[in-house]
Amino acid sequence: MKNSVFSQKIYSFLLAAYRRYLQTPERSLYEAYDAALKIQEIENKHFNGNKIDTDSAMYSNSVMDYFESDLNKLLKITRMRLTEFKASRWFLNEENQKAAQKAGIEYLSLSLVLEKLNFIDQVISKYTTTSKALVVRPQNLSANSVISDEKSLLVNTPTLPPKIPNQDSDNKGKIKRKTDTIGVLPRSILSTISRLQVELDPNSEQEVIQSFRQTQKRTIISIRFILLLIIVPLLTHQIAKSFVVGPILERFRSSEQMQIFLNSEMEEEALVELQRFEEKLKFENLIIKAPPLLPEQLETEMKNKAIELAEEFRHESSGAIKNVFADMFSVVAFIWLLLVSKSSIAVLKDFFDNIVYGLSDSAKAFIIILFTDIFVGFHSPHGWEVLLEGVSRHWGLPANRDFIFLFIATFPVILDTIFKYWIFRYLNRISPSAVATYRNMNE
């Protein structure tokens, strides 16, 4: 009895394996067709039906790396399943097909098979050549990042049938960076020839329109995101201060119990203003040649002024406490906005890269000198001092002169070092003429 049950299980297992073997061609074709559909879905959704390529999209390097990894994975699945489809059909003979029909396995009709294969070929034919378009990177990247991208692409790129190497294919496979393009003719002549070729191309009008639309969309997204980065924290600060922090603070602290002065600077400022008010009363009384003020009248005026100053500084102290908690809400809103807008950050980065690296050499030198003179120049300590005192007053903190002087002595020096390193490391490689212009203007 046990042997019959065991033999029956073995028979059912072998039958299931045989049925799976007979269904291999159709299953492989379905999986290859499904992967091709996913590639077409990415093209239609993110690239306007065009090839997944850096030249046909306005996405940043990080976003393109994401799409490239999905593309390479789907291409690998498609090619493997097509190979499996061809191999399984080669091994299946007429007897196997008759056995499949007896087992109730229905194959696709020839027209459907040809239709699916034709669709798969149309999708993957765009990517059968070397992934030159997927390797292109902006010119403002460092050499180390380019080398790392090359290594990752070599690992992820699907294997292709070997070809006979020639000079043209070797040149196409190399990445041309701005720092490495040294030819016999000047680059201006070559760029002029390339521009004429583009202008004579019958499809150039569509490419220009598409490029303009992508640039317009990138600009709109960048400007809108910059406005959000400014408006959202400010609105959050005002709303939190007026409707959240303010009512809570006024509920737990009455106006009589609330401290008038948060620090000694406020108290000193109030005393100086009260003393100036007393001197002003005496001066006005001497000018109009009126009878001298009686001590009772002077005391009454001074008392009213003191009550007015106390109310003013009590309101300022309460506002400083509210600012501390409202700023916390603003920081949280700003961080949340950055976390939920990663794609907008990538578009904004490309927007600024195109603006900065699209400027002329004199404009780049002018902007660098302007920023360095403002933040790390000879007159910058006065600006930093005013800024730090304003921040201290905003939070109701006493202005610590030692901390301010120490900050001014260290932070601008660090910024100056960062500016010089950026000029030496990146700008000198990408635009040496801008560096030369900067040095001449600086001298």
CB 156 within 8 A of CB 72: yes
Question: Is 140 a member of any domain?
Answer: yes
Question: 16-25, 144-153, 342-351, 420-429: which has the minimum mean pLDDT?
Answer: 144-153
Given this model, what pLDDT does residue 432 score? 83
CB 74 within 8 A of CB 39: yes
Long-range pairs, 82-86, Cβ under 8 A, ≥24: 82/28, 82/32, 82/120, 84/24, 84/28, 85/24, 85/25, 85/28, 85/29, 85/32
117 pLDDT higher than 80: yes
The Cα–Cα gap between 194 and 176 comes to: 15
pLDDT band at 220 (very low <50, low <70, confident <90, very high): very high
End residue of a domain, out of 150, 166, 201:
201
CB 375 within 8 A of CB 412: yes
| Burial (0-12, 13-18, 19+ Cβ within 10 Å), 351 | buried
179 shares a domain with 51: yes
Question: 62-66, 154-158, 331-335, 404-408: which has the minimum mean pLDDT?
Answer: 154-158
End residue of a domain, out of 309, 344, 379:
344
Q: What is the mean pLDDT of the chain?
A: 76
The predicted model gives 145-166 an average pLDDT of 39
431 shares a domain with 337: no
Helix (H) / strand (E) element for 326: namely helix 295-339
Question: Is 353 a member of any domain?
Answer: no
Question: Is 216 a member of any domain?
Answer: no
Given this model, what pLDDT does residue 171 score? 43
187 shares a domain with 231: no
The Cα–Cα gap between 270 and 259 comes to: 14
Question: Is 191 a member of any domain?
Answer: yes
The neighbour count for residue 52, using CB atoms within 10 Å, is 22
3-state secondary structure of 263: coil
Question: Is 217 a member of any domain?
Answer: no
Given this model, what pLDDT does residue 231 score? 95
The Cα–Cα gap between 124 and 129 comes to: 10
Nearest to 413 by CA among 387, 438, 377: 377
Burial per residue of 86-102, b for 16 or more beta-carbon CB atoms within 10 angstroms, e otherwise: eebeeebeeeeeeebee
Q: How many domains does the chain have?
A: 3
Amino acid, single-letter form, for residue 172: K
The Cα–Cα gap between 311 and 305 comes to: 10
159 shares a domain with 45: yes
The Cα–Cα gap between 28 and 128 comes to: 20
348 pLDDT higher than 60: yes
Our separate counts of H helices and E strands in the chain read: 18, 0
Amino acid, single-letter form, for residue 44: N
> What beta strand segments (E) does 129-285 contain?
none
Question: Is 287 a member of any domain?
Answer: yes
Given this model, what pLDDT does residue 165 score? 41
224 pLDDT higher than 90: yes
Question: Is 354 a member of any domain?
Answer: no
**What does the pLDDT look like over 349-389, one tens digit per residue?**
888 888 887 888 888 888 888 888 888 887 788 889 989 98
End residue of a domain, out of 310, 344, 378:
344
Bigger pLDDT: 77 vs 203: 77
367 shares a domain with 336: no
256 pLDDT higher than 80: no
The predicted model gives 234-240 an average pLDDT of 93
Q: C-alpha angle 359/361/366, rounded to 5°?
A: 85
Question: Is 214 a member of any domain?
Answer: no
CA quadruple 34, 36, 42, 45: dihedral positive or negative?
negative
363 shares a domain with 324: no
388 shares a domain with 340: no
**What does the pLDDT look like over 400-421, one tens digit per residue?**
888 889 998 899 889 889 988 8
381 shares a domain with 340: no
Q: Which domain holds residue 392?
A: 359-442
Helices marked H in 133-203 — which ranges? 143-156, 167-173, 187-200
32 pLDDT higher than 80: yes
90 shares a domain with 50: yes
145 shares a domain with 255: no
265 shares a domain with 236: yes
171 shares a domain with 309: no
